Amino acid sequence: MSIAADDGPGMVARAFRHRSFAIGAVLTGLVIAAALVSLFWTPYSAIELAVPRKLRPPSAEHPFGTDHFGRDILSMIMVGARNSIVVGVVAVAIGCSIGTALGLLAAARRGWVEELVMRFSDFTFAFPAILSAIMITALLGPGTINSILAIGIFNVPVFARLARGAASTIWARDFILAARAAGKGQARITVEHVLPNILSIVIVQATIAFALAILAEAGLSYLGLGTQPPLPSWGRMLNDAQTFMYDAPYLAVFPGLAIAVAVLGLNLLGDGLRDLIDPRLARKR
Amino acid sequence: MMPPEESLAAPVLRTTGLHRRYLLPRRALFGPRDSVHAVNGVDIAIPERGSLGIVGESGCGKSTLARLAMGLEPPSEGRVEIRGQDLAQASGPALKLLRRAFQMVFQDPYGSLNPRHTVGRIVAEPIDALEKPADRRQRVEEVLRAVGMRPADLDKYPHEFSGGQRQRIAIARALVTRPALIVLDEPVSALDVSVQAQVLNLLRDLQEQYGLAYMLISHDLAVVDYVCRQVAVMYLGRIVEEGPASLLFERPAHPYTQALRQAVPSAAVANRRRRRARLPGGVPSQTRLPPGCAFADRCPIAEARCRVEVPRLREIGPGQRAACHLA
C-alpha cells in the first residue's frame, strides 16, 4: 500500500525532525551499512582462523579486538549484521504477510473463520516462542533457514491477532457502512478501507518484530541451533565469549552492543513511523 | 400508503411487513436463545419526491429500519422494494443499477468518512463502485458545489474540515449517483446547533433542486417538522402514528405522540414541570414484548382492552393513521 500517498512533499525533512525516528533511522542505517559493506569488504576475513593473533584486546589494528581463533571481531560483527538482517527481514515478511492476511480475513468473515484463526493463534501462543523455536530447529535440524522458518511461524499469530483486532474496530466504523451502501464487497472494502487504516499499526509491529527476530536469532545461535559455523552470527559470538568472560570481556561487549544498537534502532524507527504515517499527526508537526 | 390514494408510479421505497430480530447469545449453555425484536412489522411507502420523517426515542428501531431500507442488513421477515423492485431479489449488475437510486447519510460525520481517503475519493466512492462514469471528475465537482464546498477541497483530507463541512461532504457522496432517495440517519444530531440549521436548509434546497425523496430519521421533532411533509412515529419497533407533519404535530392522536410533543423542551418552566408527571415507567423489554399495546404500561389512558389486543394502524382522519384503540 502507499504510505507515501498520505504524505505531501517535505516528508523526508519532516521525518528527520522527529527525534526518535531520526535516531532510529541512524542506528538502523548503521547496521544496514555494516551489512552492505561486508558484502565486498571487511578489514580481515571473518572466517579464516589466525590463531597466532588470538584474544587481542581492542587496538588500532583490531578496533574491537580478536576472538580465541584470532578472527577480527569488527569483521565478524559486520558479516553477522548481514546474517541478522536476512533472518529478520525474511522471518518478519513471512509472519507479517501470512498473519496480516489471516487477521484481515477473520475480521471480514467473522463467524467460524474468525474462530478458527483465533483458536489457531491461541494454540500457537500457548507454547513459549523460544522453546517452540528450539523444538522446530531441533526437529528440522539447525541452520539459518530453519531458524528463519521457526521465527516466522511464531510471528504469524502475533500479526494475525493484531490485524484482526485493528480491522474489527475499522469494520465497526460508519465509513464501512457507506462503502457497503455503495455496493462494495468484503474483499474490496478490506483492500480499500481496512488495510490502509491498519497499515500504520502493522508497520510499527513489523519493526518491533524485526528487532525481536534479531534477538531470537541471536538466542537460537547462542544455543547452537541457528546459523552454523564458520559463518559468524551475533548470538554465537556471545556464546563463544562466555568462556573468556574474565580474560577478554570485550568479546561479549561488542556483539552485545551490536544487538542492542539494532534492536533499539528498530524500536525507535517503529515509534517514529507510527507518528509519521498518521495524516492527522502529520500536519501538526 | 402515505398518500391517501395510491399513485400509479411505484413508490421509491416501500416496506411491507418488515421485521428484524437479533439473536442474543445463550445465557445458559443449552438454554434457549432470546432475541431482540428491533423492528416489528413496519409498512411504509415514500413516493417520488416525498419526504418521510421517522421519530421516536432511542432504541425504538428507527436506525435498524434505515439499515434495512438500505439493504445493509437482511430483514428477518417482510420485504423492501425500491421503485417496485424487491431488494432481496436483486443481485449482480441489477443490484448495482438499483443501488444508484438510494444512498445514505450517516449520523456521525467523523466516523462516516475514511480518514485516509481524500475528499475527492470519498465523494466518488459510490460512482466508482457502481457506474465508473467517464465524467467522474465533473460529477464530483458538481456535487461538491451543490453542497457548498469548493472543487479545490478535492485533494484535502476529512480531518481538515469542521463537522458541518464533513456532513456536507457526506451529503455530496450520497448525491453523486443522482439518487431518487436519500436515507438520512440523524443527519444533524452530531452537529452544533448553529450548524444544524445550515445543513437542514441545504437538505431542503437539495430536495427541491434534485427532486429527491427523503427518509429522515431523527429523535428531534423540530428537525423532522422542518424537512418532512409526512411523519411516522415509532415505538418499540412499530409505527404507532403517521400522517402529514402539520397535522400530526398539531393534533396528535396517539397518546405516545402527545407525550413526545410535550417532551420538546420549551422555555416555559411551567410547561416543563407538567411534562415530568406525564410518562411514568420505562420502555418495556424488547426481548419479551408485552401482549397487547406495547405502550399500555406507560399510557395515561390505557384500558383493560389495551393490554390484551394489539392495536392496528387505522385511519382516524384525512391522511392520519394511528395504532390506538382509543384514538
- What CATH number should be reported for the domain holding residue B25? 3.40.50.300
Chunked mean pLDDT (size 10), chain A, 285 residues: 44 76 90 87 78 77 78 87 89 94 92 90 83 83 86 90 93 92 90 90 88 86 82 84 83 88 89 73 49
Question: Model confidence at B85, in pLDDT bands (50, 70, 90)?
Answer: confident
Tell me the mean pLDDT in the region B243-272.
Answer: 76
- State residue A282's pLDDT score: 52
* Sheet with B85-86: strands ordered across: B35-46, B13-23, B77-82, B85-86
Question: Model confidence at B53, in pLDDT bands (50, 70, 90)?
Answer: very high
Which of A177, A178, A180 lies at the smallest CB-CB distance from B173?
Answer: A178
Q: Which fold has domain A10-37+87-282?
A: MetI-like fold (1.10.3720)
Instruction: Considering only residues B191 and A47, tell me which one the structure prediction assigns the higher pLDDT.
Output: B191
Is there a domain that residue B186 lies in?
yes
| Residues counted in chain B | 327
Residue B319: which H helix or E strand, with range? none
pLDDT in tens, B97-110: 899 999 999 999 88
| Structural domain span for residue B259 | 13-101+179-322
Which of B71, B72, B112 lies at the smallest CB-CB distance from A175?
Answer: B112
- State residue B52's pLDDT score: 94
CA–chain centroid gap for B281, Å, is: 26
C-beta atoms of A181 and B159 within 8 A: no
Q: Where are the beta strands (DSSP E) in chain B?
A: 13-23, 35-46, 51-55, 77-82, 85-86, 102-105, 181-185, 213-218, 230-235, 238-244, 314-317, 320-322
- State residue A275's pLDDT score: 77
Contact of B121 with chain A, judged by CB distance below 8 Å, is answered with no
Cell numbers found for residue A280: 492527522
C-beta atoms of A179 and B70 within 8 A: no
C-beta atoms of B116 and A180 within 8 A: no
Measure the CA dihedral A79/A80/A82/A86, to 10°. 150
Residues of chain B with Cβ-Cβ distance to A181 below 8 Å are 70-72, 99, 103-104, 126
Q: Is the peptide bond before A230 cis (omega within 30 degrees of 0)?
A: yes
Cell numbers found for residue A23: 535516531
- State residue B208's pLDDT score: 92
**Distances from the Cα of B59 to the Cαs of A34, A63, B38, B234, B237, in angstroms?**
63, 74, 8, 10, 8
Is there a domain that residue B118 lies in?
no
Instruction: Considering only residues A127 and B77, tell me which one the structure prediction assigns the higher pLDDT.
Output: B77
User: CA-CA distance, A270 to A275, in Å (whole number)?
Assistant: 9
- State residue A69's pLDDT score: 80
C-beta atoms of B106 and A177 within 8 A: yes
Q: What is the biggest distance separating any 2 CA atoms in chain B, rounded to whole angstroms?
A: 65
**Residue the block writes with cell 483458536:** A119
* Sheet with B213-218: strands ordered across: B102-105, B181-185, B213-218, B51-55, B230-235, B238-244, B320-322, B314-317
Q: Where are the domains of chain A?
A: 10-37+87-282
Q: Considering only CA atoms, which of B63, B327, B32, B314 is closest in space to residue B187? A: B63
Tell me the mean pLDDT in the region B203-221.
Answer: 92
- State residue A191's pLDDT score: 92
C-beta atoms of B108 and A6 within 8 A: no
Measure the CA dihedral B132/B137/B139/B142, to 10°. 170
Residue B172 has pLDDT above 60, yes or no: yes
For chain B, the domain total comes to: 1
Question: Model confidence at B88, in pLDDT bands (50, 70, 90)?
Answer: confident
b/e map of B10-40 (b: 16 or more CB within 10 Å)?
bbbbbbbebbbbeeeeeeeeeeeebebbbbb
Residues 184-223 of A with CB under 8 A from B: 184, 188, 193, 196-197
Residue B200: which H helix or E strand, with range? helix B193-210
CA–chain centroid gap for A46, Å, is: 24
Contact of A181 with chain B, judged by CB distance below 8 Å, is answered with yes
Terminal-to-terminal C-alpha distance of chain A = 23
Distance from CA of B230 to the nearest CA of A (A): 25
User: CA-CA distance, B145 to B141, in Å (whole number)?
Assistant: 6
Q: Considering only CA atoms, which of A74, A61, A227 is closest in space to residue A145? A: A227
Residue B275 has pLDDT above 90, yes or no: no
Cell numbers found for residue A133: 523455536
Q: Other CB atoms closer than 10 Å to residue B43's CB: what's the count?
A: 15
User: CA-CA distance, A179 to B183, in Å (whole number)?
Assistant: 15
Helix, strand, coil share (%) of chain B residues, nearest 5: 35, 20, 45
Is there a domain that residue B133 lies in?
no
User: Taking the model in full, what pTM does it have?
Assistant: 0.81
User: CA-CA distance, A109 to B152, in Å (whole number)?
Assistant: 38
User: CA-CA distance, B222 to B220, in Å (whole number)?
Assistant: 5
Q: Quick check: helix, strand or coil at residue B29?
A: coil
Predicted ipTM?
A: 0.83
User: CA-CA distance, B82 to B95, in Å (whole number)?
Assistant: 11
Cell numbers found for residue A135: 523444538
Residue B276 has pLDDT above 60, yes or no: no
Helix boundaries (H) for A141-282: 144-171, 174-181, 186-189, 195-222, 234-243, 250-276, 279-282
Cell numbers found for residue B120: 475527492
- State residue A250's pLDDT score: 83
- State residue A279's pLDDT score: 57
Residues of chain A with Cβ-Cβ distance to B129 below 8 Å are 179, 182-184, 188
